[in-house]
Amino acid sequence: MSTAVHLSLTSDLCVTPLGLEGDADLQFLLVGGELMKVRSSFWRKNRFYKLQEDCTTMWHESHRTFKSNQTFSIDEIDSVRKGRQSEGLQKHTEAHVEDRCFSIIFKGRRRTLDLVAPSGEEARQWVNGLEKITSNRRKLNRQQTSEHWIFNCMRRADKNKENKMTLKELKHFLRQMNIKVDDTYAEVLFAKCDKSNSGSLEGPEIEHFYNLLIHREEIDVIYRKYASTGGQMSVKDLLNFLLNEQREVATMEDAVGLIERYELDDSAKQKNHMTKDGFLMYLQQEEGSIFNPAHKEVFQDMSQPINHYFISSSHNTYLMEDQLKGPSSTEAYIKALMKSCRCVELDCWDGAQGEPVIYHGHTLTSKVLFKDVIKAIKEYAFKTSEYPVILSLENHCTLEQQKLMAQHMRSILGSALLTSPLEHQMPTAFPSPQELKGRFIIKGKRLNKLDAVFSNISPGVENDSVSEEDEAAEIKDSKTDSSGQKAKPKKSKMKLSKQLSNLVIYCKSVHFSGFDHAKHNQAFYEMSSFKESKAVNLAETAGKSLSSVKAVHLAETAAKAFIHHNMTKLSRIYPAGSRTDSSNYNPVPLWNAGCQTVALNFQTPSKEMDLNQGRFRSNGLSGYVLKPDFQRYAGSEFNPVTLTKGPWIKHKAFHVMVISAQQLPKLNKDKPKSIVDPLVKVEIYGVAADTSSKETHSIENNGFNPMWNETFQFDIQVPELALVRFLVEDYDSTSQNDLIGQYCLPLTSLQNGYRHVPLLTKRGDVIPSAGLFVHLMLLDAK
């Protein structure tokens, strides 16, 4: 058994996080104290908060009926912010209490907890303590997380706090663990562990029960196959496993290093052997993960022009919910930026108090001050990624408030705001993400050509200056042929301030009048926005209302033209206005056509956001992913609609064996006897020829350690554009299956062999103890 957790139900063991023994800030949390909870200028209540002895749960008093004691898990905390950094504290507290304030930001939609401590020193201790313990939780490996989870389930099952486990408590514990067993099996398991025949388990008996519970037969089989040296894996055996099973480029030194890091038995380590416990520990580390650790860092060439990259992009970034009546918030920008979003949208309107505001115009969505949004962007833009952020302005303001917008951006963003071309001469191509590190780029309308910066030409007002979303609404019924040509609609004119216009350098918004027009008339820095339906039409489905032969030809022509357009220009795609619930469209066909800024509603959990998270998981979460060669260089004949021979065809056979899952969460915690019936879907997204899905059978009443051992094969033509998504669902014969967890990554970022797959919630947060165990082989097809 691992030495990471000693299984006893006594309150003084197994609770102090490793490395924080005797820590003063942790002890402060365990004692707790009174804090003022702030919800509005009028609602301010003193409440007692403390960290419970398990060091994973915060307790606080509540004056709600039937809810006098409330808790939340440390794992629910996204971040802790010192000072008046939340919208609530900025609105409802005064500047003189700045040093006493802090906020707890939660994952998902749980409301931010705004708190004021009695003193600045106490606020510092609360923030330091919470940051230490949340950081500690995130650093736990899968085995440690699993042990903590099991241990806490045991503590909850020990209803009378006697530090023992009766048969009744054992049955309750198994239900908490998402396992349904019949009474006979539970009794047999209990009797096997109750060596003292006392009618309850304690001490070593609980440890014996734990070992029976966590035993993984599939690991036994793999270990026995390779442990050929006295029943253990020698360094040579381990190297044999790494080379033949994991298909890694490994050396004897690599194998020795794994033993040194993960072997728990000192006597085995001295002999350069790895025991089964050490082997399991290795498989549950980064080296045993499905995701290639090398891709967790920036590994791609970042010196290409920015239009050569897919760029993580958000639509209606200010919204927390739907676009009809949902709240607008600076918090929405913070969440997107912390997820490495590199292109955010600012929908700007005149504010009643002379200050421009951001909201979804002509709807009931709430408003947030433009300057507050810019402050939040400045603060959080480069915390996750140091690469450039594009501010996409949808400008509906009068000249006076446009001048104020420009003034706010200059004063708040300072030297980080790009206000002239990098080389101080007329550019002929985009700069690279490397050259633009830490910079903000404004996307919007400009009164004149960029070369006017280097001349004394005085700008006039463009006749066709219209907001892109308004323009899209006006032309939604106009017809588009294969080259993108369409009848010119009437354009609503708007006046644009020189101050705002001058901030637009590399991303000047222009009306799209067809690929041929763009090729001969658009400068490289002039970019167009496309509503999703129009973009998909150009990318893959143009002309399908015509005869099938002609339709295919037109689709091929449009798709190829779009790809070549995106080799020299930037394209932005946005969801249709009819998506009032802020739902999302499939971004994959647009990436296939080389579109860079495919904007999605980050606030809406969906399969499409899973794919976006998967696309940008690699390259160090930089928000920039280099497009394949065949989408970047002129002369490429690549067409995602109809594949022809070319360097993009790298025919692969992808073998997937779904072996087992571990500690899947209960979906209905209000029903103690509710147990999941899990199944696994493996989905491939890429060019149409590669898109496919297969699924296992469901397993009844076992979310703790279900085992499938089912094998699938996928035929992949263009692996560089393919994503693989693992989806675990709770099977229901009478209604739609419920999501348990999912994980998506680029096919080119996975590791072969026996791998653990982490599982994420629908909002993209890691489920700490859960995972899949699979065997993967991505091989050249014969």
For residues 300-329, one letter each, b for 16 or more C-beta atoms within 10 angstroms of the residue's C-beta and e for the rest, the string is: bebebbbbbbbbbbbbbbbbbbbbeebbbb
290 labeled binding residue: no
DSSP 288: G
| Residue range 539-546: mean pLDDT, rounded | 50
**pLDDT given at position 14:** 43
Nearest to 757 by CA among 76, 604, 749: 749
Q: What is the pLDDT of residues 258-274, one digit of tens each?
A: 999 999 889 999 999 99
468 labeled binding residue: no
Confidence check: pLDDT of 464 > 60: no
Residues noted as catalytic: 315, 360
Nearest to 750 by CA among 246, 252, 219: 246
Tell me if 80 sits within 8 A of 123, measured CB to CB. no
**pLDDT given at position 475:** 34
Confidence check: pLDDT of 28 > 50: yes
182 labeled binding residue: no
Q: Residue 549's pLDDT band (boundaries 50, 70, 90)?
A: low
521 labeled binding residue: no
Q: Residue 16's pLDDT band (boundaries 50, 70, 90)?
A: low
394 labeled binding residue: yes
Q: Which residue has the higher pLDDT, 25 or 146?
A: 25
* Alpha-carbon gap, residue 381 to 343, rounded angstroms: 10
The token duo for 55 is: 């060091």
- Cβ partners under 8 Å of residue 781, min gap 6: 651, 652, 653, 715
From 155-164, 242-251, 642-651, the region with the lowest mean pLDDT: 155-164
Question: What 3-state class would DSSP assign to 276?
Answer: helix
From 68-77, 79-88, 151-160, 495-504, the region with the lowest mean pLDDT: 151-160
Q: Which residue has the higher pLDDT, 668 or 576?
A: 576
Confidence check: pLDDT of 778 > 90: yes
**pLDDT given at position 669:** 65
Q: Residue 163's pLDDT band (boundaries 50, 70, 90)?
A: confident
Q: Residue 140's pLDDT band (boundaries 50, 70, 90)?
A: confident
**pLDDT given at position 3:** 38
**pLDDT given at position 73:** 87
The token duo for 392 is: 């996409």
**pLDDT given at position 15:** 54
690 labeled binding residue: no
From 136-145, 223-232, 312-321, the region with the lowest mean pLDDT: 136-145
Confidence check: pLDDT of 485 > 60: no
| Residue range 524-528: mean pLDDT, rounded | 96
Work out whether strand 165-166 and strand 707-716 pair parallel, antiparallel, or are unpaired: unpaired
- Cβ partners under 8 Å of residue 383, min gap 6: 337, 338
Q: What is the pLDDT of residues 390-442, one digit of tens each?
A: 999 999 999 999 999 999 999 999 999 999 999 888 999 999 999 999 999 99
Q: Is 549 left (phi over 0), alpha (psi -120 to 50) or beta?
A: alpha
Three-state secondary structure string covering 214-245: HCCHHHHHHHHHHCCECCEEEHHHHHHHHHHC
677 labeled binding residue: yes
Q: Average per-residue pLDDT in the chain? A: 86
3-state DSSP: the chain helix, strand, coil percent, rounded to 5? 35, 25, 45
Confidence check: pLDDT of 587 > 90: yes
Nearest to 756 by CA among 103, 247, 284, 76: 284
Give the sheet arrangement for strand 692-695, strand by strand: 692-695, 678-685, 723-730, 738-746, 753-760, 766-780, 652-662, 707-716
What percent of the chain clears pLDDT 90, i.e. is strictly above it?
61
**pLDDT given at position 173:** 78
639 labeled binding residue: no
572 labeled binding residue: yes
443 labeled binding residue: yes
Q: Which residue has the higher pLDDT, 168 or 100?
A: 100
Residue the block writes with tokens 């393919």: 722
The pTM of the full predicted model, rounded to 2 decimals, is 0.85
* Alpha-carbon gap, residue 64 to 480, rounded angstroms: 59
**pLDDT given at position 550:** 54
What residue ranges define each of the domains in the chain, with the CATH number in brackets? 24-140 (2.30.29.30), 158-214 (1.10.238.10), 217-288 (1.10.238.10), 306-448+503-539+570-627 (3.20.20.190), 652-780 (2.60.40.150)
How many secondary structure helices (H) and strands (E) does the chain include?
Answer: 22, 31
Q: What is the pLDDT of residues 609-623, one digit of tens each?
A: 999 999 999 999 999
**pLDDT given at position 2:** 41
**pLDDT given at position 456:** 62
Residue the block writes with tokens 């503590």: 155
730 labeled binding residue: yes
